[in-house]
């Protein structure tokens, strides 16, 4: 007699994922599971958990591109299995990389002949780009000092306190001292005069930012160049400039073409830009351009025979995907200068719409400038009841928006801002909706019972916020406040009902 087994046990491939046992097992966290599971189940389970990530397009905290055209997506997917470093195997991809370097170099007015090859490299992001640029400065300075017979063990870099963390990383990992120019209330970027004062014989370069992450402002690179030229004349130190144009590099050339910040200034020796910010490509691509061959010490370049071909490379990473490089080339030829200009103008417009909407509430002070990266940084004029920008940020999450709040850098840490980054895909509709939701949040904020005042005074008097409350603490506070508020509302309602 044949005993038939129930179908559900015998033929798992028949079952839909939801009917299978795979959705009943918890996903492994610490140890690789013993057995395989069907690919549909793997896909579904992981996909579902990822639903709890925030929506990238509503992530107003980030400068990094979150939307590209489907044609580009197609190119991205088709090249996802090409290891960029196999230059001999994928010569066209390598060529596209070189074309991007050339185009970006000319965008920055690198002194080059028409068909001369620019010196530059594609990286995984501005962090890698900055490390490469910093390494080049460090090595050049060391060689110079060795030739002069002077000590070369204490190199330093002068930047503003508003630098992005990758400069601090560079300093710490590559053993260079970071000399930061503190900002002050009302002036949230590096002061060129103070920066030049800090320059000494051990300074390998001064780093200026075109598009401070805190409020989008462009630093005055021209003034820095002029002041540094003078100092160099007096001291003979020949200190160069690097421009961290991570955000601004793809904005200034299109909407502020007369602004002199790039290689038009003689002391600027290298510039980095993030392809994945206003270069309008998905996360994972940056560029660093050097003025000339002399600015990139030959000993840093590796000439290797990889898989059969000679390559000159100067990168930290080796194997990586090709998708973003191809996507960058797509954007450069698809949009052209006109296309980029239109997009940046739109961003600027929408930033103004948002800014005006916020100003109209009468509750906010705008800390970002009109010119610069299309960013709106704003803080509460009056922290009623002790509720600050962090609370606003938490409340906006309910509507789906991610708007970060953070203190300004050293010198103005008591100033807390909320910051909305206007990316290419942030339309006017979304801007208006955001204003509407912020207005709603303000109303709710007003109804909240005041916070415990002593804490606020403590922070306010010192002028130094020692450590920002952890997320958990803030969450707990907010939850308690809400609970009290809801209970209060219920009580009001109950009384209304009783009264009627």
Residues numbered 377-436 forming contacts with other proteins, rule: CB under 8 A: 390, 393, 402, 404-407
Bridge pairing between strands 241-244 and 119-123 = unpaired
Binding of residue 206 to other proteins (CB under 8 A): no
Residue from 5, 18, 24, 34 in contact with other proteins (CB under 8 A): 34
Which of 232, 311 has the CB closer to other proteins? 311
- Which 152-181 residues touch other proteins, going by CB under 8 A? 153, 165-166, 168-169, 172-175
Query: Where is 208: in which H helix or E strand?
Result: strand 203-209
Choose the binding region for other proteins from 313-321, 370-378, 456-464, 477-485 (rule: CB under 8 A): 313-321
- DSSP assignment letter at 210: B
- Which 273-292 residues touch other proteins, going by CB under 8 A? 274, 276, 282-284
Number of residues that bind other proteins (CB under 8 A): 123
C-alpha to C-alpha distances, 312 to 298, 303, 324, 470, nearest whole angstrom: 10, 4, 21, 46
Binding of residue 333 to other proteins (CB under 8 A): yes
Which of 20, 323 has the CB closer to other proteins? 323
Q: Residue 298 Cβ, how far from other proteins at the closest point, in Å?
A: 12
Binding of residue 24 to other proteins (CB under 8 A): no
Query: Which residues in 30-142 belong to E strands, given as ranges?
Result: 119-123
- DSSP assignment letter at 300: G
- For residue 158, what are the contacts with CB-CB under 8 A and spacing of at least 6? 179, 181, 195, 198, 199, 203, 205, 206, 207
Q: Residue 17 Cβ, how far from other proteins at the closest point, in Å?
A: 11
User: What is the C-alpha separation between 474 and 387, in angstroms, rounded?
Assistant: 11
Binding of residue 150 to other proteins (CB under 8 A): no
Nearest to 158 by CA among 197, 210, 212, 214: 197
Question: Can you read off the two tokens belonging to residue 466?
Answer: 């020692």
Which of 166, 228 has the CB closer to other proteins? 166
Q: Residue 453 Cβ, how far from other proteins at the closest point, in Å?
A: 24
Binding of residue 47 to other proteins (CB under 8 A): yes
Q: Is 230 exposed, middle or buried (0-12, 13-18, 19+ CB in 10 A)?
A: exposed
Residue from 302, 381, 473, 482 in contact with other proteins (CB under 8 A): 302
Which of 11, 175 has the CB closer to other proteins? 175
CB 64 within 8 A of CB 402: no
Site string for other proteins, 96-135 (x = CB under 8 A): x--x--xxx-xx------xx--------xxxxx--x---x
Binding of residue 52 to other proteins (CB under 8 A): yes
User: What is the C-alpha separation between 310 and 362, in angstroms, rounded?
Assistant: 63
């Amino acid at each position: 007699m044949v005993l038939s087994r129930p179908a559900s046990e015998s033929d798992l491939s028949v079952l839909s994922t939801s009917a299978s046992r795979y959705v009943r097992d918890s996903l492994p966290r610490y140890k690789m599971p013993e057995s395989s599971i069907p690919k549909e189940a793997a896909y579904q389970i992981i996909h579902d958990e990822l639903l709890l990530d925030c929506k990238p397009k509503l992530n107003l905290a980030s400068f990094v591109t979150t939307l590209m055209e489907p044609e580009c997506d197609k190119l991205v997917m088709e090249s996802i299995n090409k290891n960029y470093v196999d230059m001999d195997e994928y010569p066209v991809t390598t060529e596209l990389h070189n074309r991007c370097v050339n185009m970006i170099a000319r965008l920055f007015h690198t002194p080059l002949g028409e068909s001369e090859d620019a010196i530059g490299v594609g990286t995984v992001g501005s962090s890698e780009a900055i490390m490469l640029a910093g390494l080049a400065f460090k090595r050049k300075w060391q060689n110079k000092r060795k030739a002069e017979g002077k000590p070369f063990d204490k190199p330093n870099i002068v930047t503003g306190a508003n630098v992005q963390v990758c400069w601090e990383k560079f300093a710490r990992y590559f053993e260079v001292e970071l000399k930061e120019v503190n900002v002050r209330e009302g002036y949230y970027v590096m002061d060129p005069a103070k920066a030049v004062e800090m320059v000494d014989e051990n300074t390998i370069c001064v780093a200026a930012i075109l598009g401070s992450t805190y409020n989008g402002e462009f630093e005055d690179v021209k003034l820095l160049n002029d002041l540094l030229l003078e100092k160099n004349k007096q001291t003979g130190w020949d200190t160069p400039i690097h421009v961290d144009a991570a955000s601004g590099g793809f904005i200034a050339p299109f909407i502020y073409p007369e602004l002199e910040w790039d290689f038009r200034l003689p002391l600027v020796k290298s510039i980095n830009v993030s392809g994945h910010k206003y270069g309008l490509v998905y996360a994972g691509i940056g560029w660093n351009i050097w003025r000339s061959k002399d600015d990139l010490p030959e000993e840093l370049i590796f000439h290797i025979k990889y898989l059969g071909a000679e390559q000159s490379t100067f990168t930290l990473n080796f194997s990586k995907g090709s998708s973003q490089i191809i996507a960058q080339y797509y954007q450069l030829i698809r949009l052209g200068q006109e296309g980029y200009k239109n997009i940046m103008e739109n961003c600027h417009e929408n930033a103004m719409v948002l800014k005006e909407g916020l100003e109209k509430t009468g509750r906010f002070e705008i800390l970002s400038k009109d010119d610069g990266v299309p960013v709106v940084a704003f803080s509460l004029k009056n922290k009623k009841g002790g509720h600050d920008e962090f609370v606003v940020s938490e409340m906006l999450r309910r509507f789906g928006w991610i708007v970060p709040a953070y203190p300004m850098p050293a010198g103005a840490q008591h100033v807390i801002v909320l910051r909305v980054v206007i990316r290419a895909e942030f339309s006017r509709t979304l801007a208006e909706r955001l204003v509407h939701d912020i207005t709603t949040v303000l109303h709710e904020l007003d109804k909240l019972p005041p916070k415990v005042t002593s804490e606020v005074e403590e922070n306010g008097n010192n002028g130094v916020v020692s450590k920002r409350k952890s997320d958990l603490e803030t969450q707990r506070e907010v939850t308690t406040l809400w609970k009290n508020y809801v209970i209060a509302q219920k009580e009001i309602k109950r009384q209304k009902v009783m009264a009627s």
